[in-house]
Amino acid sequence: MEGVDHLAHERNKAQFDVAVMKAVWAGSRDAYELFHRFSRLVANDPEMFIPAIKAQATEEQQKQWLPLANKMKIIGSYTQTELGHGSNVRGLETTATFDPKTDEFVLNSPTLTATKWWPGGLGKIATHALAHARLIIDDKDYGVHGFLVQLRSLDDHLTLPGITIGDIGMKYGSGAYNTMDNGSLIFDHVRIPRNQMLMRLSQVTREGKYVPSNVPRQLSYGTMVYVRQKIVFDASIALSRAVCISTRYSAVRRQFGSHNGSPETQVIDYKTQQARLFPLLASAYAIRFVSEWLNSFYKDLLQRLEAKDFSTLPEAHACTAGLKSITTSVAADGIEECRKLCGGHGYLTSSGLPELSAVYIPACTYEGDNVVMLLQVARYLMKTISQLKSGNKPVGTTAYLGRAEQLMQYHSDVLRAEDWLKPNVVVEAFEARAARMSMACAQNLSKFNNPEDGFQELSADLVEAATAHCQLIIVSKFIEKLQQDIPGKGVKEQLGVLRSIYALFLLHKHIGDFLSTDCITPKQGYLANEQLRSLYSQVRPNAIALVDAFNYTDHFLSSVLGRYDGNVYPKLYEEAWKDPLNDTSIPDGFHEYVQPMLKQPLHHGRL
């Protein structure tokens, strides 16, 4: 019935102050920030063009271009990826050849695989590209640099001479990403003034002299680092949307279990539903808190870079790459799990889940393929370990590797299930697992004469070690979050339950790592799972309140299953009748194609 809260009985069970939890979840950024970004995403993606100009253009160039971009007088596309190269930025083929006679660069796509391919906004709407191309001076290749290129007339939006542009076509399913005009672009000797090479990091003089960057060349990758840390925040939003929908529906849906006319069982009370759903609820909070930490770490990096302090740049790259990888994989897989948790109705567009999945899953690929990103983390870990011998004491997120010898001797002293509720017990186990996996890789790598051959041969193990390292970061930041002063009745207690669910679910899921590295015994693994089951019972009465704390409107959720009032069935039915198929009783084509078959006489008694 309209106006009735069908989940009121669930909300009355809450054992904590929901208003405070809403504030904890909202944190330092408004969750709707992404919604507006997301809505822009499906129109155009200023997410990268403007930050890239800020990162790579001189002050003078910024003064020229930023006001135009900020006021949408020009529409930009971050045009890096090509048909033949995306992950391997140093393999990009587009060229920008300096012509000293005219003081210009000539942009060209020398091969088909040099065609720019994927950049958002490029296909139909962008007027300018921040094109990444190989700088060529006097036949010498100076590697990939950024160039601002006008693509279309600002009068009639027609493409300019030498520019061939198109949309790359429909993408995965019918998701909203199909409203993003990811495009293709071929340059045929397009000339731009020399001052349209972004020259903050390195320059080309009027005489054609290349002035190399006096800062790490990787700063030219800065926009990707910036977006990767944002994507971690986005992962918490995407996953929490799906968890909100599936948790509310799990409390509404009843199936089996009726005795003597009693109501059937709420599916949220089935232990299998809880074992699938509650770790995702905990993961949403875990990812949110690690994104807060990562954002503050990134802001600290920016301040350091201003002061030419590059000391945390390698760690920032490793953390943004690794956490982007881990959190987008968890969110993408989690959204699909939430669809399955809703049974058949989860597959309806009106559930909001297919659309969310179709839009979200490319996050595992864009801004860095998730495996390639974890390999970057692995390189960082191996380098950190190789420097231990020279007395280089690791700090920050790799500080535990400085205690590797001690961690190699570690054995968990868990005796009872409740011992796994102690944060220090959990962190020690996760540190030991991560340290031992990385040290084992380093040990195996040392057996190879050619380190690169070893890295390739061991890359699957290295990805697992990088995963363990990143999961340790997320667990640690969840624990650190709860060491902050958090007011409100029961709020910290509930977050503590979620923290333990997150950590013990990972321990259970990766029990092979913990056993094969001899960090814990099978009995201790069994006790962790025992504790996990108890934690599910503790979170169960608070589940609806914990997703209410995301503070999402029904409009934002766009889901008949995730409605705040739980009034699912009437709305499911109502929504179905909006489908144009139901405008007529007899479907189009019936008389032409189906009815003749139905009218066909039987032949020899056979249909």
Ligand X SMILES: Cc1cc2nc3c(=O)[nH]c(=O)nc-3n(C[C@H](O)[C@H](O)[C@H](O)COP(=O)(O)OP(=O)(O)OC[C@H]3O[C@@H](n4cnc5c(N)ncnc54)[C@H](O)[C@@H]3O)c2cc1C
Ligand Y SMILES: CC/C=C\C/C=C\C/C=C\C/C=C\CC/C=C/C(=O)SCCNC(=O)CCNC(=O)[C@H](O)C(C)(C)COP(=O)(O)OP(=O)(O)OC[C@H]1O[C@@H](n2cnc3c(N)ncnc32)[C@H](O)[C@@H]1OP(=O)(O)O
d(CA 36, CA 23): 20
Question: Annotated binding residue at 81?
Answer: yes
Helix, strand or coil, per DSSP, at residue 530: helix
Q: Where would I find the H helices in 133-270?
A: 222-252
Tell me which of ligand X, ligand Y, none is bound by residue 313, counting a contact when its beta carbon lies within the kind-specific cut-off of 5 to 8 angstroms: ligand Y
How many Cβ atoms from other residues are within 10 Å of residue 399's Cβ? 12
d(CA 120, CA 49): 10
Q: Which residues in 266-285 contact ligand X (CB under 6 A)? A: none
* Sequence-ordered list of residues with C-beta below 8 angstroms from that of 451, at least 6 positions apart, any chain: 445
d(CA 554, CA 573): 17
d(CA 432, CA 517): 8
Q: How far is the CB of 486 from ligand Y (least distance, A)?
A: 26
3-state secondary structure 427-485: HHHHHHHHHHHHHHHHHHHCCCCCHHHHHHHCHHHHHHHHHHHHHHHHHHHHHHHHCCC
Q: Does 227 bind ligand Y (CB under 6 A)?
A: yes
Q: How far is the CB of 184 from ligand Y (least distance, A)?
A: 15
CA angle 196, 302, 202 (to 5 degrees): 30
Query: Which CB atom, from 230 or from 499, has the smaller least distance to ligand Y?
Result: 230
Query: Which CB atom, from 166 or from 216, has the smaller least distance to ligand Y?
Result: 216
Instruction: State the catalytic residue, choosing from 104, 292, 367, 464.
Output: 367
Q: How many CA atoms lie within 13 A of 212 on its CB side?
A: 8
x/- map, 15-54, ligand X, by CB under 6 A: ------------------------------x---------
Tell me which of ligand X, ligand Y, none is bound by residue 229, counting a contact when its beta carbon lies within the kind-specific cut-off of 5 to 8 angstroms: none
- Nearest alpha carbon to residue 78 among 48, 108, 57: 48
Tell me which of ligand X, ligand Y, none is bound by residue 182, counting a contact when its beta carbon lies within the kind-specific cut-off of 5 to 8 angstroms: ligand X
Pull the structure tokens for residue 197: 């090479």
CB 228 within 8 A of CB 320: yes
Q: Does 76 bind ligand X (CB under 6 A)?
A: no
Q: Does 314 bind ligand Y (CB under 6 A)?
A: yes
Q: How far is the CB of 237 from ligand Y (least distance, A)?
A: 6
Q: Which of 175, 368, 525, 566 binds ligand X (CB under 6 A)?
A: 368
Q: Does 383 bind ligand Y (CB under 6 A)?
A: yes
Q: Phi/psi of residue 492, each to 5°? A: -65, -35
Q: How far is the CB of 165 from ligand Y (least distance, A)?
A: 18
Q: Which of 96, 197, 313, 439 binds ligand Y (CB under 6 A)?
A: 313
| The one segment of 16-24, 153-161, 339-347, 368-376 that binds ligand Y by CB under 6 A | 368-376
**Is residue 336 annotated as part of the catalytic site, yes or no?**
no
Tell me which of ligand X, ligand Y, none is bound by residue 371, counting a contact when its beta carbon lies within the kind-specific cut-off of 5 to 8 angstroms: ligand X
Sheet holding 183-187, edge to edge: 116-117, 183-187, 163-167
Q: How far is the CB of 132 from ligand X (least distance, A)?
A: 7
x/- map, 81-110, ligand Y, by CB under 6 A: x----xxxxx--------------------
Q: Which of 103, 167, 369, 565 binds ligand X (CB under 6 A)?
A: 369
Helix, strand or coil, per DSSP, at residue 222: helix
Residues lying near ligand X in the complex (CB under 6 A) are found at: 45, 78-81, 86-87, 118-120, 177, 182, 362, 365-366, 368-369, 371-372, 375, 459
Catalytic residue positions, numbered: 367
